[in-house]
């Protein structure tokens, strides 16, 4: 994450922005806060519901959540951006949060319904993240962001 902020500052300097944008400042505040109080939950992040496709370790979305302190239930042996998993594997997991990249209200409703179906006894909080707002960040492989960092060997 620090690399990301460095990269953002680098681009702002390149674009001759003297003042950081409010969005940037807000993100930095949230990040500083998370450093003090890390998120402490196990989560599953779904990019697609039917068939279930998880965000992998190599995505920015998961990297961000992990660096904020959350613990992903993505199988460790897979270093991939996305992974289609069996529904029975999902049922056997015990996430404390489920995050889903939703494309519209209809898919959000279906996601909540699926959550209740998958974990009927202890349904975890299931949060739909609007894809149109976050798609670029969530689908970006973390490697691309690292490459943007001014500290990276392949800096622009």
Strand partners, 128: 100
d(CA 63, CA 135): 15
22 near other proteins (CB under 8 A): no
Using rule CB under 8 A, residue 112 touches other proteins:
no
- Number of residues near other proteins (by CB under 8 A): 23
Part of the chain binding other proteins (CB under 8 A), chosen from 3-11, 17-25, 86-94, 122-130: 86-94
Q: Which two tokens stand for residue 35?
A: 């450093």
b/e string for 131-153 if b means 16 or more Cβ within 10 A? beeeeeebbbebeebbebbeeee
Angle at 56 between CA 120 and CA 34, to 5 degrees: 80
Closest CB 48 distance from other proteins, rounded Å: 5
Candidates 21, 50, 116, 151: give the one binding other proteins (CB under 8 A).
50
Which chain residues interact with other proteins by CB under 8 A?
47-48, 50-51, 53, 75, 78, 83-89, 91-92, 103-104, 106-107, 121, 131, 139
């Amino acid at each position: 994450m620090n690399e990301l902020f460095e990269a953002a500052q680098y681009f702002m300097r390149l674009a001759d922005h003297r003042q950081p944008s409010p969005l940037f400042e807000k993100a930095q505040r949230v990040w500083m806060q998370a450093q003090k109080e890390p998120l402490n939950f196990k989560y599953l992040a779904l990019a697609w519901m039917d068939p279930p496709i998880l965000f992998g370790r190599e995505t920015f979305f998961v990297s961000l959540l992990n660096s904020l302190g959350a613990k992903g239930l993505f199988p460790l042996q897979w270093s991939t951006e996305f992974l289609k998993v069996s529904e029975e594997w999902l049922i056997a997991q015990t996430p404390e949060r489920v995050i889903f990249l939703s494309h519209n209200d209809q898919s959000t409703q279906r996601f909540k319904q699926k959550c209740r179906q998958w974990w009927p006894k202890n349904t975890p909080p299931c949060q739909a993240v609007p894809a149109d707002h976050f798609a670029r960040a969530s689908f970006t492989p973390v490697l691309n962001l690292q490459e943007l960092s001014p500290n990276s060997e392949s800096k622009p």
